[in-house]
């Protein structure tokens, strides 16, 4: 789950920089469009919030699974 969270962050960062597939709809691409068209603030807030929530949940799930299945922890 930590690797998936890192992949989401990497993909959105690369798409924000314009290095991804321009024909695909991505959160990073939406953030880049929002930066170019500042009058539509929802193009910045919703994708940014979506990235944050997804990465945070994946990290929390991964942490919970690690704590549940770690045999070395007392």
pLDDT tens digits along 19-64:
988 888 899 988 888 888 888 888 889 999 999 999 999 999 999 9
Alpha carbon distance 31, 11 (integer Å): 12
Q: Which pLDDT value is given to residue 54?
A: 94
Tokens matching residue 17: 């920089």
Q: Which pLDDT value is given to residue 2?
A: 84
Gap between the terminal Cα atoms of the chain: 23
Close Cβ partners of 5 (under 8 Å, ≥ 6 residues apart): 54, 55, 58, 59, 62
What is the pTM for the complete model shown? 0.81
Q: Are 54 and 37 in contact (CB under 8 A)?
A: no
Q: Which pLDDT value is given to residue 58?
A: 94
Alpha carbon distance 39, 18 (integer Å): 20
């Amino acid at each position: 789950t930590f690797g998936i969270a890192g992949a989401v962050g990497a993909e959105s960062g690369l798409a924000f920089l314009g290095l991804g597939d321009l024909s695909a709809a991505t959160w990073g691409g939406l953030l880049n469009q929002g930066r170019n068209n500042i009058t539509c603030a929802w193009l910045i807030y919703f994708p940014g919030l979506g990235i944050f929530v997804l990465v945070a949940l994946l990290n929390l799930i991964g942490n919970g699974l690690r704590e549940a299945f770690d045999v070395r922890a007392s």
